[in-house]
Amino acid sequence: MRITALAGGVGGARFLRGLLHHARHTYPVTPDSDPLQLTVIGNTGDDITLFGLRVCPDIDTLLYTLGGGIHEGQGWGRADESHHLAAELAALGAEPQWFTLGDKDFGTHVYRSQLLGQGMPLSAVVDRLSSRWGLGDLGVRLLPMTDTPVETHVVVEQDGEQRAIHFQEWWVRHRAELPAERFVVAGLDRATPAPGVLEAIREADVVILPPSNPVVSIGIILGVPGVRDALRGTRAPVIGVSPLVGGRPVRGHADVCLRTIGVEETSAGVAGLYADFLDGWLVDEEDPMPGGRGLEVLRRPLLMSSVDAAAEMAGAALDLGLRLRADRATA
Ligand code: GDP
Ligand code: CA
């Protein structure tokens, strides 16, 4: 069974860890079974160069979460981390100091930057990092959305003047509190999908959109030329999961992002962003969103309070996709 997912960082990673957990119990590998093969297309719009090192926050959150090395409380960064390098950089007066990087995490960025500096494309680097975290053994292939360097910037208003700052500076340093005018994604219009990205969408049995940020995670991946067309054209049902519970994002500032692009901060508003290719949509139990023609809406508890809770959600999304797929086969 070939599943393809588009993912940002924490929301995407926790959901996909749940999907793997669900699959291990539901589709155990036997000689005649059809084990789950998961291709994850990760957002690289958050990528940033710090201290001369290339940092890919969403890709790394996916690697660490699926590979079992994540700091569970934070949702990002490594478990059992120390910060000697960052302390020394601060003592030297090196900037910026608003982005936390632990010592083990630095190892990832040093190695990635070394390989990129030797001319290796990001997708090949991610392959190396995936081996480190044993993703292949889990049936997971992680692809960056593109090998083209892409960076999300935010046009903000400060002291009566407009200027563009890196998305991370807006998100981490200013906690999305600086009034944002719009998002500008440098390099996106000329980006090409990384090898395997379009094929993974076209050849999937089910495509899943986890509850990642619809604007600055999923929205950026959808902006890579060719990705949206592939989603419109795939035979696979596309199933999405709302990032809103009780009418609000569970963490992060998805509501601010939606407001910035002029979209209503509701599950219906988010589904509208995917309307041209979405077939199934999971919303929280109390969510008032109505079903519509051509869109199957399923109500489920959508809080990923544990791996088991995430597995339940992911199982419901997968089952809906498989049912829609079977319906199509008999139609
Ligand atoms: P980021 O790149 O680390 O910000 O992570 P993502 O873009 O993958 O996911 C962020 C989104 O995940 C936010 O909009 C949250 O609302 C959503 N999210 C986080 N935890 C949960 C949860 O338990 N349930 C649901 N439904 N959404 C969640
Ligand atoms: Ca992110």
- Report, as an integer, the average pLDDT of 297-316: 97
What local confidence, expressed as pLDDT, does residue 301 receive? 97
Q: Which residues surround ligand 2, an ion (CB under 5 A)?
A: 8-9, 46, 58
Domains of the chain as residue ranges with CATH: 2-148+190-330 (3.40.50.10680)
Percent of the chain with pLDDT over 70: 100
pLDDT score of 43 more than 90: yes
Closest to 54 (Cα-Cα) out of 124, 114, 120: 114
Closest to 221 (Cα-Cα) out of 126, 276, 144, 145: 145
- Work out the pLDDT band at 292, boundaries 50, 70, 90: confident
Render pLDDT for 47-98 as a digit per residue (tens, 0 to 9): 999 999 999 999 999 999 999 999 999 999 999 999 999 999 999 999 999 9
29 or 221, higher pLDDT? 221
Instruction: Tell how far the Cα of 319 is from the centroid of ligand 2, in angstroms.
Output: 27
What local confidence, expressed as pLDDT, does residue 34 receive? 84
Residue 309 CA: nearest ligand 1 atom is 23
pTM passes above 0.95 = yes
What local confidence, expressed as pLDDT, does residue 290 receive? 79
Instruction: Tell how far the Cα of 267 is from the centroid of ligand 2, in angstroms.
Output: 19
Whether the CB of 128 sits within 6 Å of ligand 1: no
Q: Residues 45, 238, 68, CA angle at the centre, nearest 5°?
A: 55
What local confidence, expressed as pLDDT, does residue 32 receive? 78
Q: Determine the residue type at 83.
A: H
Whether the CB of 11 sits within 6 Å of ligand 1: yes
What local confidence, expressed as pLDDT, does residue 293 receive? 77
pLDDT score of 27 more than 90: no
Residue 254 CA: nearest ligand 1 atom is 14
Whether the CB of 156 sits within 6 Å of ligand 1: no
Q: What's the start-to-end Cα distance of the chain, in Å?
A: 21
pLDDT score of 29 more than 80: no
What local confidence, expressed as pLDDT, does residue 288 receive? 87
What local confidence, expressed as pLDDT, does residue 207 receive? 98
pLDDT score of 287 more than 80: yes
Mutation test residue for ligand 1: of 19, 59, 212, the one with most atoms within 8 Å of CB: 212
Render pLDDT for 89-122 as a digit per residue (tens, 0 to 9): 999 999 999 999 999 999 999 999 999 999 999 9
Tokens 């519509």 correspond to 292
Instruction: Tell how far the Cα of 58 is from the centroid of ligand 2, in angstroms.
Output: 5
What local confidence, expressed as pLDDT, does residue 28 receive? 74
pLDDT score of 291 more than 80: no
Render pLDDT for 212-255 as a digit per residue (tens, 0 to 9): 999 999 999 999 999 999 999 999 999 999 999 999 999 999 99
Residue 12 CA: nearest ligand 1 atom is 8
Render pLDDT for 11-24 as a digit per residue (tens, 0 to 9): 999 999 999 999 99
- Report, as an integer, the average pLDDT of 273-299: 92
Instruction: Tell how far the Cα of 41 is from the centroid of ligand 1, in angstroms.
Output: 16
Q: Which residues contact 230 (CB under 8 A, 6 or more apart)?
A: 197, 198, 201, 202
Buried b / exposed e over 102-119, threshold 16 CB at 10 Å, is bebbbebbeebbebbeee
